[in-house]
Amino acid sequence: MQSLYYFIVKPLNDRYDNTRRVADTDLIINSGIEDHRFISKKAVVVQTPAAYTTKINIGDELYIHHNIFRRWYDQKGKERNSSTHFKDDLYFVSPEQIYMYNLKTHLDYCFIKPLKNQSVLENRKEQPNVGIVKYSNKSLETLKITPGTLITFTPNSEFEFIIEGERLYCMKSNDIALTHEYQGNEEEHNRSWAKGS
């Protein structure tokens, strides 16, 4: 069983990531299938494509697009699998839908840590469109944008992920608009619930 161009994957744990550990209790924070924020983005490679070689191997853990494992309701209210569903608990994933494998970025994706908002005039906990590079990629590193670089990214380009208990934004290299010098008052913003997942 090998696809010509697609990876075949299965969920690392479950299709949905809708529980959080608080003290000694697991809380279900969402019971619907509609909200993309609670769909698992973690997968395991079952088979690699036949048409080309790749650094991603069978058994590698991936962070993927949220629509891969998504379920939805059709016009008659019947629950359906996403179009990427193959059979049983297996799904097709194109290379462009893989953001990270074994904590290494894939293609031109990168991951950014959000920063706390320092402004007392705004009612936001997070600075909009500003962060620190956590996981870079080869094209960014040639531009000297490495982990730890303070950057500004374009609006609405980020996708939220929880990686190793840390809340990060995934985006493409060309979504990074500026690099900055540190002012000295920057503070990372990581919600407490992210560490409990």
Query: Quick one: tokens of 93?
Result: 């994933």
First-last CA distance in the chain: 33
Amino acid at the residue 74: D
| Beta strands across the sheet bearing 150-153 | 159-163, 166-172, 109-116, 126-135, 150-153, 176-180
Q: Which residue, among 136, 137, 138, 56, has the nearest Cα to 93 in the 3D structure?
A: 56
For residue 12, pLDDT beyond 70: yes
Confidence (pLDDT) at 197: 42
For residue 193, pLDDT beyond 80: no
Distance CA 191, CA 166 (A): 8
Going by pLDDT thresholds of 50, 70 and 90, the confidence category of residue 99 is very high
Confidence (pLDDT) at 153: 97
Confidence (pLDDT) at 17: 76
Question: What Cα–Cα distance (Å) separates residue 70 from each residue in 27, 90, 98, 112, 186?
Answer: 21, 12, 15, 24, 36
Looking at domain 108-195, its CATH class is mainly beta
The full set of domain ranges for the chain reads 7-101, 108-195
126 vs 146: which has the higher pLDDT: 146
Going by pLDDT thresholds of 50, 70 and 90, the confidence category of residue 74 is confident
Query: CA-based angle 15:34:25, to the nearest 5?
Result: 60
Going by pLDDT thresholds of 50, 70 and 90, the confidence category of residue 35 is low
pLDDT tens digit string along 76-97? Answer: 989 888 899 999 999 999 999 9
For residue 124, pLDDT beyond 70: yes
18 vs 111: which has the higher pLDDT: 111
Going by pLDDT thresholds of 50, 70 and 90, the confidence category of residue 34 is low
For residue 36, pLDDT beyond 80: no
pLDDT tens digit string along 52-72? Answer: 999 999 999 999 998 898 888
Q: How confident is the prediction for the chain on average, in pLDDT? A: 88
Contact between 145 and 131 (Cβ < 8 Å): no
